[in-house]
Structure 1
Amino acid sequence: MRTTAGQRTENENRIRAAMDRLLRGELPPGGKCDIKTLARESAVDRTAFYGARSYAQLREEFERRLEALHQAGEIPDPREAQIARLKAEVSALKKRLATAEKANEELGEFRTQALARLAAQHEEILHLRRSAATVSGVTRLPTARTTMIGSCS
């Protein structure tokens, strides 16, 4: 069935009104800011928006305006905005996790080195004590424990 010029004008007005609502973020329940919802909201068959059909130029206009909003940092669909926000948050959290894992790895290496140094120092102290015990004329100093106990009495 062919549409008259009046019907076509009426359809275009409904499409433009629906387009404006969708781009302002006034989405119907279960709808998105897309051609499918635009067709449903304007009561026009969705296939009329594709190819060389009668409302293809309005689809292109809708897509241009939607892209311009995205370029300006505005996202009319709250779900898309939430998805974009969550993706950015996930990216930031991944960076934080990588930084924390690197720091943990460095601290683990530091701990291993510190323990190895302490063990080597302990072995050196034991070696020096053994060699001091065999040398005559070396007076042993009291240990900190004996000094503290002696000073308390």
Structure 2
Amino acid sequence: MRPQDDRLSCRDHPHRLLSEEEPRRHHPARTYQHLAEEFERRRAELQEVGKIIDPHDAQIERLKTEDATLKARILARDQQIEDLSEFKALGISRLAAQHDEIERLRRQIAEIGPVRQLPRSASRKAPYGSSS
């Protein structure tokens, strides 16, 4: 008797090829291969007729549409940012002009001296032509 060897023999190695004499075990990929081939054939026929769109082509079209949508949104946002920047610059410009006018009026009051208040009328009506 030979001593037992811990190594696997060629016959027991998991990666060896099956010989013709050995029975094949039922593997799902081999068992249903005819169904997979039939499915692929039918799918190819439907794609040729145009009833089924190739998933890869459909994804490309979807991504192109999404890309165009995003580009349009970016352009709209860029325009909105530009409009708001112009509005901001106009607002700052108006505030600066108002500030300059207030400063000019303050200097004018300081140069004139004390301001005399006009007497108020007893009727308290607005003068002719005013909007009050």
1:135 to 104, 112, 126: 112
C-alpha distance in 2, partners of 1:122/1:23? 78
**Pair 1:121-2:80 in alignment:** no
Secondary structure class of the residue paired with 2:110: helix
C-alpha distance in 1, partners of 2:88/2:82? 10
C-alpha distance in 1, partners of 2:111/2:45? 92
Give deviations 1:75-101, integer Å, cap 9, x for gaps: 2x1111110110110011011111101
2:65 to 62, 71, 88: 88
1:28 aligned partner: none
1:21 aligned partner: 43
Q: Give the share of equivalent positions with the same residue, in percent.
A: 39
C-alpha distance in 1, partners of 2:55/2:62? 10
2:77 aligned partner: 100
Please report the RMSD computed on the Cα atoms of aligned residues, expressed in angstroms: 2.4
Secondary structure class of the residue paired with 2:113: coil
Q: TM-score, normalised by structure 2?
A: 0.52
Relative contact order higher in (CA < 8 Å, ≥ 6 apart): 1
C-alpha distance in 2, partners of 1:86/1:23? 26
C-alpha distance in 2, partners of 1:100/1:21? 43
C-alpha distance in 2, partners of 1:23/1:129? 88
Q: In structure 2, do the counterparts of structure 1 residues 84 and 23 end up closer, same or farther at CA, with 3 Å as the change threshold?
A: farther
